[in-house]
Structure 1
Amino acid sequence: MVWVFSLSAECGTQEGNAKQFAQHFQQTQGVLSNNLQYQVRADVFQDLEENWWCRVCPQSVTETGVATPEDAYLLTELGILLYQHLQSAPPFRYALVGVEVDEFRTYSELLLESSNLEFPGLVLAIAIANQLGVISTFRPFSSGYVWQPYQGETYNPLLVSPELKSKLNLLLAVG
């Protein structure tokens, strides 16, 4: 199974906003601390509510998510780089970096779940944070945006090892 690590940003109702956002990230490239070169690709798509998203995916990094502690470190490093580039991005409503974060919440879901926005790394436009009544629980991110600081990616052996999961299931079956 392929696990996609990306930055996903909801850009509102205008396709042009998402395309402008994607253009900001197109051709972004660099070298990680392990000397792995990366380049990102950005694509736009529309959700069920007809809002436009941009997905920014690093190429040549991983398609297995966080399968090792080393993956967690490198994806965290890459996540920080994506957030740094996001600070100068064209307007968007909200964004998040992580594994499988595409359409993590539609706009109406975000509004409905405003009392439970425990997404480390979630960046909100200040207008949306005010509308949700969460401005005081977020920290400044960049001009016009606030966030819950990114905590990095984590390695969880029970999620990636069928053998360990099987042993845990046996342990849980006792008693």
Structure 2
Amino acid sequence: MAYLYGMAIECGSEIKAAEQIQEHFKTMDLILLNNKISTFTINLEKENKDYGEISWWVNIYSNEFQTGEGSPEIARVLYKTLETAPNFRFAIVGVEVLLFISFEDISNILNDPSCVAKSYGGLVLSKSTILGTQSESLFEHFSDNYVWMLNRWRG
């Protein structure tokens, strides 16, 4: 069975923010160690929440559709590109990460450091979101306005 490996970026309620992120990632390709070229599919998706709010997502998937070989390389290029991306609320890389977590879930998750450490490696959040939470010490600098959990894919 094939699994989609990629990055989900939650951009909030404004479609313009999501469109800017989508544009930022459009020209990304990667030559893997086995000399295969990994291209990416970039989708804009609208999430309608039960309470009437909307969230816009940019979902970027490797066209390799793999979970094994090449995944660290793919993650590295996704995170490297994210470092210079326009504003977003949060992002995460992994297998089938679309709607894996919502922005509303984050405040609860951040109050349980063991859950964050165990289940959310690679989560990128704005510095303002993490400030003052019980999990603040688990996150490291990612870029000017963002922090992340673990840096196993940093190149």
TM value normalised by structure 2: 0.84
- For the residue of structure 2 that corresponds to 1:113, the secondary structure is helix
2:10·2:56 contact (CA, 8 Å) conserved in 1?
yes
Q: Which has the higher helix share?
A: 1
Q: Match of 1:53?
A: 57
The residue identity in structure 1 corresponding to 2:67 is G
RMSD over aligned CA atoms reads 1.7
Identity over aligned residues, as a percent? 27
The answer for the alignment partner of 1:123 in structure 2 is 124
Distance in 1 separating the partners of 2:142 and 2:34: 27
Consecutive unaligned residues of structure 2, counting only runs of 5 or more, are none
Q: Secondary structure at the match of 1:96?
A: strand
* Match of residue 67 from structure 2: 65
Deviations, residues 103-149 of structure 1 (Å, cap 9, x unaligned): 11111112222223231111111111126453322100011000112
Q: Which has the larger radius of gyration?
A: 1
Q: Is the partner of 1:51 in helix, strand or coil? A: strand
In the TM superposition, residue 90 of structure 1 has moved relative to its aligned partner by 0.8
**Number of paired residues?**
144
Structure 1 residue ranges without an equivalent (≥5): 153-175
Once residues 58 and 131 of structure 1 are traced to their aligned partners in structure 2, the CA distance between those partners, rounded to angstroms, is 35
Give 1:42 deviation, angstroms.
1.1
Alignment of 1:127-166 (within 5 A): 127-130=128-131, 132-151=133-152
Which residues of 2 match residues 102-121 of structure 1 at below 5 A?
A: 102-114=98-110, 115=112, 116-118=115-117, 119-121=120-122
In the aligned structure 2, how far is the partner of 1:127 from the partner of 1:103? 22
1:87 aligns with 83
1:15 maps to 15
Cα displacement string for residues 15-50 of structure 1 (whole angstroms, at most 9, x for unaligned residues) = 110111011001211311110112222111122431
Q: Contact conserved, 2:4 with 2:62, CA < 8 A, in 1?
A: no
Give the aligned residue type for 1:27: T
